[in-house]
């Protein structure tokens, strides 16, 4: 199958098989495409759909999000996972809002200049929002190309794939953009990682991997990351408390979500270090900047003043220190008794 033939076959199949997803509809804005692409990284479509809808209803333009506190982005992000993505979208929105016209850049290079926008996302927005002839390679695309073209079970995504995928795209930009999304859709719906549905695949007659008898992967299979008991699980629980609270939260409230104090402290340290949680001067914690927002100098002074007591209070029963490396670090293991309660907030929340 020639290059154009593969793209034509996929495009014909896509016309009848594509899912009706809101970020693919004709009137969708580049901002909405950016939001969808960031949310879809490592998160299934079904979980993204309700958050995407709520996000764009509340923040239909980058300027709308930029005018709100980053903590509100973290709050609405809910349980999508990897919540730093919410902060990255907020940072990008602030940068876009400062551009003339408040519009996203149209080129890959311009998009890459936005904070938090990486190579894949920039390419996806250029191709799917601006309909440019730009190769976009995610794990689905890589797998389809590995199987249909190279005769391999799968392959890791590398920068060399961009040239390979570009060769498969039609010359005309609009057709290339459609072929790009069709490749991705085939990987999501038909040529899946675990159970490719070859009998229904539009490429079955020419697929190199099927023709070769489907040889097994020539590299070790990466096992999915464990979740239960990890710091990621603890971080998720801590953030959930803050998202569900309109006001900053005391340390005791956070302590109730995880029994193991050192792991809990480490997880909270990580959230604070990532800017997802603000430690407040009164010892509470909140989402970044949600309600009463102090001026930057005042916040800096607050953090400086809180750093000393935190550092001095390190060394719980285990004698393990968790608060010395950074003034934003939090000592959870040595959290005070209820009578001297400490509160925790999502970034930007108010002091109660
Ligand atoms: S024939 Fe099977 S392995 Fe080949 S591209 Fe289609 S689904 Fe994937």
C-alpha 316/C-alpha 338 separation (Å) is 16
Give me the pLDDT at residue 216, please: 82
The count of C-alpha atoms lying within 13 angstroms of the C-alpha of 154, restricted to the half-sphere facing its C-beta, is: 18
The residue out of 179, 211, 243 marking a domain boundary is: 211
The alpha-carbon radius of gyration of the chain (Å, integer) is 24
Residue 200 lies in domain: 3-211
| pLDDT tens digits, one per residue of 81-122 | 999 999 999 999 999 999 999 999 999 999 999 999 999 999
The count of C-alpha atoms lying within 13 angstroms of the C-alpha of 30, restricted to the half-sphere facing its C-beta, is: 23
The residue out of 211, 244, 270 marking a domain boundary is: 211
User: Of the segments 178-187, 215-224, 300-309, which one has the largest average pLDDT value?
Assistant: 178-187
Q: Give burial (CB, 10 Å; 0-12/13-18/19+) of 289.
A: buried
**180 and 41 co-located in one domain:** yes
Count helices and strands (H / E) in the chain.
Answer: 16, 4
Q: Is the pLDDT of residue 223 over 70?
A: no
**17 and 119 co-located in one domain:** yes
Give me the pLDDT at residue 4, please: 77
Nearest to 75 by CA among 351, 349, 352, 332: 349
Q: Distance, CA 68 to ligand 1 centroid (Å)?
A: 46
Assess whether the C-beta atom of 190 lies below 6 angstroms from ligand 1.
Answer: yes
Query: E strands of the chain, at which residues?
Result: 249-250, 278-279, 285-286, 343-345
Assess whether the C-beta atom of 149 lies below 6 angstroms from ligand 1.
Answer: no
- Cβ atoms of 147 and 191 within 8 Å: the answer is yes
Assess whether the C-beta atom of 146 lies below 6 angstroms from ligand 1.
Answer: no
- Cβ atoms of 59 and 43 within 8 Å: the answer is no
| pLDDT tens digits, one per residue of 282-332 | 889 999 985 544 444 444 444 444 333 322 233 332 322 222 223 344 433
Q: Distance, CA 144 to ligand 1 centroid (Å)?
A: 7
**14 and 99 co-located in one domain:** yes
Atom number of ligand 1 nearest to Cα 207: 4
Residue 339 CB coordination number (10 Å): 5
**325 and 274 co-located in one domain:** yes
Instruction: Examine residue 21 and state whether it is found in any structural domain, yes or no.
Output: yes
Assess whether the C-beta atom of 187 lies below 6 angstroms from ligand 1.
Answer: no
**105 and 141 co-located in one domain:** yes
Atom number of ligand 1 nearest to Cα 148: 5
Q: Distance, CA 285 to ligand 1 centroid (Å)?
A: 50
Instruction: Examine residue 206 and state whether it is found in any structural domain, yes or no.
Output: yes
Assess whether the C-beta atom of 196 lies below 6 angstroms from ligand 1.
Answer: yes
| pLDDT tens digits, one per residue of 26-75 | 899 999 999 999 999 989 999 999 999 999 999 999 999 999 999 999 99
**332 and 255 co-located in one domain:** yes
Q: Distance, CA 161 to ligand 1 centroid (Å)?
A: 19
Is 37 considered catalytic here? yes
Among residues 5, 37, 103, 252, which one is catalytic? 37
Count the domains in the chain. 2
**107 and 48 co-located in one domain:** yes
| Stretch 211-240: mean pLDDT | 81
The residue out of 180, 211, 242 marking a domain boundary is: 211
**272 and 203 co-located in one domain:** no
**205 and 267 co-located in one domain:** no
Best mutation site among 204, 208, 212, 216 for ligand 1 pocket (most ligand atoms within 8 Å of CB): 204
Q: Whose CA is nearest to atom 2 of ligand 1?
A: 198
Q: Distance, CA 148 to ligand 1 centroid (Å)?
A: 6
Instruction: Examine residue 219 and state whether it is found in any structural domain, yes or no.
Output: no
Q: Is the pLDDT of residue 10 over 50?
A: yes
Assess whether the C-beta atom of 1 lies below 6 angstroms from ligand 1.
Answer: no
Q: Is the pLDDT of residue 220 over 80?
A: no
Assess whether the C-beta atom of 334 lies below 6 angstroms from ligand 1.
Answer: no
Instruction: Examine residue 224 and state whether it is found in any structural domain, yes or no.
Output: no
Give me the pLDDT at residue 218, please: 67
CATH number for the domain harbouring residue 77: 1.10.340.30
Residue 285 CB coordination number (10 Å): 30
Q: Whose CA is nearest to atom 1 of ligand 1?
A: 204
Helix (H, G, I), strand (E, B) or coil at 290: strand
Assess whether the C-beta atom of 188 lies below 6 angstroms from ligand 1.
Answer: no
Max CA distance (Å), the chain? 74
| Stretch 158-177: mean pLDDT | 94
CA dist 296 → 91, 233, 299 (Å):
16, 31, 5
Query: E strands of 266-340, at which residues?
Result: 278-279, 285-286
**37 and 166 co-located in one domain:** yes
Q: Distance, CA 197 to ligand 1 centroid (Å)?
A: 7
Give me the pLDDT at residue 219, please: 64
Give me the pLDDT at residue 103, please: 95
**142 and 272 co-located in one domain:** no
Assess whether the C-beta atom of 85 lies below 6 angstroms from ligand 1.
Answer: no
Nearest to 89 by CA among 120, 121, 119: 121
Residue 24 CB coordination number (10 Å): 14
**173 and 264 co-located in one domain:** no
């Amino acid at each position: 199958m020639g290059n154009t033939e593969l793209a034509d076959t996929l495009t014909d199949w896509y016309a009848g098989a594509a899912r009706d997803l809101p970020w693919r509809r004709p009137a969708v804005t580049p901002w909405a495409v950016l939001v969808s692409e960031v949310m879809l990284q490592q998160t299934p479509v079904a979980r993204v759909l309700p958050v995407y809808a709520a996000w764009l209803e509340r923040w239909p333009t980058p300027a709308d999000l930029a005018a709100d506190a980053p903590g509100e982005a973290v709050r609405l992000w809910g349980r999508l996972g990897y919540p730093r993505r919410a902060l990255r979208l907020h940072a990008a929105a602030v940068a876009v809002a400062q551009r003339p016209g408040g519009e996203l850049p149209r080129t890959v290079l311009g998009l890459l200049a936005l904070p938090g926008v990486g190579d894949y996302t920039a390419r996806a927005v250029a191709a799917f929002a601006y309909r440019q002839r730009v190769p976009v390679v995610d794990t689905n695309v890589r797998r389809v190309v590995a199987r249909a073209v190279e005769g391999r079970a799968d392959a890791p995504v590398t920068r060399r794939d961009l040239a390979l995928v570009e060769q498969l795209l039609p010359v005309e930009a609009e057709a290339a953009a459609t072929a790009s999304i069709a490749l991705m859709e085939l990987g999501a719906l038909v040529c899946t990682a675990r159970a490719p549905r070859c009998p229904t695949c539009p490429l079955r007659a020419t697929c190199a991997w099927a023709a070769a008898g489907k040889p097994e992967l020539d590299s070790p299979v990466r096992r999915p990351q464990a979740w239960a008991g990890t710091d990621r699980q603890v971080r998720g629980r801590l953030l959930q408390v803050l998202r569900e609270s309109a006001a900053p939260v005391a340390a005791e409230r956070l302590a109730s979500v995880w029994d193991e104090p050192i792991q809990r402290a480490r997880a909270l340290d990580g959230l604070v270090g990532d800017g997802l949680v603000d430690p407040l001067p009164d010892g509470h914690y909140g989402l970044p900047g949600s309600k009463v927002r102090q001026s930057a100098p005042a916040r800096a002074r607050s953090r400086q003043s809180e750093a000393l007591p935190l550092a001095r209070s390190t060394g719980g029963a285990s004698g393990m220190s968790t608060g010395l490396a950074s003034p934003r670090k939090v000592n959870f293991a040595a959290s005070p008794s209820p009578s001297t309660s400490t509160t925790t907030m999502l970034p930007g929340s108010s002091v109660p």
